[in-house]
Amino acid sequence: MEKVDTTATDILQLNARASKSSTWFLGAAILGILLCGIAYFQSHQGFFVSYLTAFSFFLAISLGALFFTMVQHLARAGWSTTVRRTSENLGNNMLVMAVLFLPLLLGLSHLFQWTHPDVRAVDHLIRAKSAYLNVPFLLIRVVFYFAVWTFLGSWLLKTSRRQDVTRDPALSQKMGKWSTLGLILFGLTSTFFAFDWIMSIDAHWFSTMFGVYFFAGSVVAFYCAMIIVVTCLKSSGHLQKSVSTEHYHDMGKLLFGHNIFWTYIGFSQFMLIWYANVPEETLFFLHRAGGWKVISLMLPWCHFAVPFVFLMSHNVKRKPWLLATGAAWLLIMCYIDIYWLIQPYFYHHGPHFGISDAGALLMIGGFYLYFLVHTMRQAPLIPVGDPRLQMSLNYDNGIPKK
């Protein structure tokens, strides 16, 4: 491998200006805790509903990051090497997400009707699903999910960091080999998490496509987050020579393509339910009519049509701040999408964004970003020991120069 003079190509460590942002993130988290405390005493159920919504949103970003990292290793991709450390850092946030998940364990009875003995006694369908929908098995499954995600996130980052020191190309092959198994486990765990913690809020409704829908939204949310993080790093003096216009172009194309995939899955799910007209399935969309009709009609336009037209432009994908603006818009839509998936079950008359939602976003988002900055401060911002680094540094017009 050709030796890369990293000191000449980039600022590898976070500088003081970027590091100070962690203070603001910690402050936001503390403010969020205070707001969550107020919201909890106002309404126990309202707090847990808002907390599950915000938690699912940030979890989706890290799930998308794990998927991206493993796919790049499996494909032995060269172009993405200089942006892959950002996805590794976001994937490593599974550790903090596992800790932030704990409050939800206290709210099972507020979130899931099927946990109530009196409901199970009179509801034949819930009793029929009791072999799967029971609290002990639910907890066993979620422990397994986070064990898999935390292991994958930390192992991929630690192995990549070890390669920074050893420059051993065999570590790239090792990460690519184990990413095969990792992707299988990822697909199963992310799908069943969506079934367990979102779809089972209404134990009568079911959709075999729901796991794929949640996965598609997670990948879109991740690409938005990666573009924003990389752009913020560049604005603070980092990654100036490591991430080029060509990298932005490819990140923009991936965001564009996966957002179309999200739309395809969402429309397919709707079309099949509408066409079959099975009462247990149509219930999902009946909950999202009435007061929720505005958001139900807004998502196809604001999550698909507007980004489709905006991101289609060649020039937009090659201008960092313009692309980051579109990514920020789409990231907000990803939150609204998860909000739309969870909250209509509890607020039948329409959206109910309040202090609990703001507090949960500030708390979880503050800790999420604080931990992200802390992780980024501990190692170079690009994988300096990766054998494909030079290929990524020379990436031009979609053709890597060897």
pLDDT of residue 182: 98
pLDDT of residue 8: 42
pLDDT of residue 333: 98
Rounded average pLDDT per 10-residue block, the chain, 402 residues: 49 67 92 97 96 98 98 96 97 97 97 94 92 97 98 98 96 96 98 97 93 98 98 92 95 98 97 90 90 95 97 95 98 98 94 95 98 93 95 76 48
pLDDT of residue 14: 76
Q: How many domains does the chain have?
A: 1
Task: Please enumerate in sequence order all residues whose Cβ is within 8 A of that of 332, keeping only pairs 6 or more positions apart, or say none.
Answer: none
Q: Is 207 among the domain residues?
A: yes
> ∠ CA 59-64-65 to the nearest 5 degrees?
95
Q: How buried is residue 232: exposed, middle or buried, by Cβ count under 10 Å (0-12/13-18/19+)?
A: middle
pLDDT of residue 311: 96
Give residue 41's identity as a one-letter amino acid code.
F
> First CA to last CA across the chain, in angstroms?
11
Helix, strand, coil share (%) of the chain residues, nearest 5: 80, 0, 20
Q: How far apart are CA 15 and CA 230, in angstroms?
A: 15
Q: Is 118 among the domain residues?
A: yes
Q: Is 8 among the domain residues?
A: no
Measuring CA to CA, which residue among 47, 345, 356 is closest to residue 201? 345
Q: Is 9 among the domain residues?
A: no
Please tell me the number of Cα atoms within 13 Å of 138 on its side-chain side: 19
Q: Is 6 among the domain residues?
A: no
DSSP for 210-279, written as a single string:
HHHHHHHHHHHHHHHHHHHHHHHHHHTT-STTTS-HHHHHHHHHHHHHHHHHHHHHHHHHHHHHHHH--H
pLDDT of residue 257: 97
pLDDT of residue 279: 84
pLDDT of residue 7: 45
Q: How buried is residue 392: exposed, middle or buried, by Cβ count under 10 Å (0-12/13-18/19+)?
A: buried
pLDDT of residue 21: 83
DSSP for 118-152, written as a single string:
HHHHH-HHHHHTTTTS-HHHHHHHHHHHHHHHHHH
Q: Is 56 among the domain residues?
A: yes
* 3 state DSSP class of 243: coil
Q: Is 2 among the domain residues?
A: no
pLDDT of residue 56: 98
Q: Is 25 among the domain residues?
A: no
The answer to whether 348 touches 42, Cβ cutoff 8 Å, is no
Residue range(s) defining the domain that contains residue 247? 30-393
pLDDT of residue 20: 76
Q: Which tokens go with 340?
A: 């739309």
